[in-house]
Structure 1
Amino acid sequence: MTTDLTSGDHLQVSWKKRLWRPLAIGGFVLLFVAGLVAYVTIHRHATWENAHRGVKITYEVEGTAKAVKITYTGPVGDPEQIQDVTLPWTAEVTVENWVLVASVWATSSTPGGTVTCRLFADGQKVAEQTSDGGYISANCVGVTGNKFAPFPATRDVTD
């Protein structure tokens, strides 16, 4: 038994046959784009968080020098200063995400003695210097570990 397809039936079968390819390709492209968007969103968030986190800075100054003045980088990057410090001296400061470099500077206004400064960023030593003799000064400068990243187009400025 043979069936003859009328021209309308032939067009209908042909149309259905031709439709599956664009739909399959479109579905594949849609899944690919959705996966790409998810990856970029997750990666960008992780990068943003890592680049804009605070870092715990530990300052250490020790030695035999007297009448020591210490200047160090504060939490927002401004210098903070204390006078007539008795050594050893230690301070921990969590610097904000835009502070890329931290420093500690110890100077003695009396002759003689030694002074050593150390700077740690999240527990890793990034600088150390020792000085001795007359009017002494030791200066430690190191990177905080924060990375500069441009701000996104929209951000919460209340942080």
Structure 2
Amino acid sequence: MTDMTQQQGWAAPVPPPQTKKRRKWPWVLLVLALLMVGGCAALIASIGHEVDKESKREIVVRYEVTGDAKGVTVTYSAYSDDDLSQNQVSDVDLPWRKEEKAKGFVKGGTLVVTTGASGGTVRCKVTADGTTHTATADGRFATATCDGF
């Protein structure tokens, strides 16, 4: 027996070929990934530039001691180029002043003033990078400490 559709000369309709749609989401993901990588690279470059600039920036640290005490001991320290330098001066008559330059990531230090056996009043003041720190001490062997700059 032969197939009727072939004998009569007609065939079932053939659906038209479907065009394959291209997926867009992989391209969107690729563009987003490239934007994220580029943004991260720009951020890292910007941070690197700021770190380099800060490591080379130099500040002036001004130490000052005033008061009526006689023969005080002044100890001061400063960080510069990530190294700590510490100095001490004894039997100082007031007022006393000192300036140092500091650069590097770590800047700052400490100023410690101690009165002697005769007592008196001392006031320390440190100005560094636009900030000022002060402290006062009164009496025998009293200590004023200026730090945190």
Q: TM-score range by the shorter chain?
A: 0.5 to 0.7
Distance 1:137 1:94, change over 3 A: farther
Alignment partners' CA distance in 2, 1:56 and 1:85: 22
Which residue number corresponds to residue 6 of structure 2?
Answer: none
Give the secondary-structure state (helix, strand or coil) at the position aligned to 2:84: coil
Instruction: Work out whether 1:109 is the aligned partner of 2:116.
Output: yes
Which residue number corresponds to residue 122 of structure 1?
Answer: 129
The equivalent position to 2:137 in structure 1, one of 128, 131, 138, is: 131
Which residue number corresponds to residue 18 of structure 1?
Answer: 22
Structure 2: 5+ residue runs without aligned partners? 1-16
Larger radius of gyration: 2
Identity score, percent: 30
Aligned-residue offset at 1:72 = 0.4
Aligned-residue offset at 1:130 = 1.8
Instruction: Work out whether 1:60 is the aligned partner of 2:60.
Output: no
Contact 1:116 1:138 in 2 (8 A): no
TM-score (norm 2): 0.64
TM-score (norm 1): 0.60
Give the secondary-structure state (helix, strand or coil) at the position aligned to 1:31: helix
Distance 1:83 1:68, change over 3 A: same
Alignment partners' CA distance in 2, 1:42 and 1:34: 12
Contact 1:59 1:119 in 2 (8 A): yes
Aligned-residue offset at 1:97 = 3.7
Distance 1:19 1:87, change over 3 A: same
The equivalent position to 1:40 in structure 2, one of 44, 60, 66, is: 44
CA RMSD of aligned residues (A): 3.3
Distance 1:21 1:93, change over 3 A: same
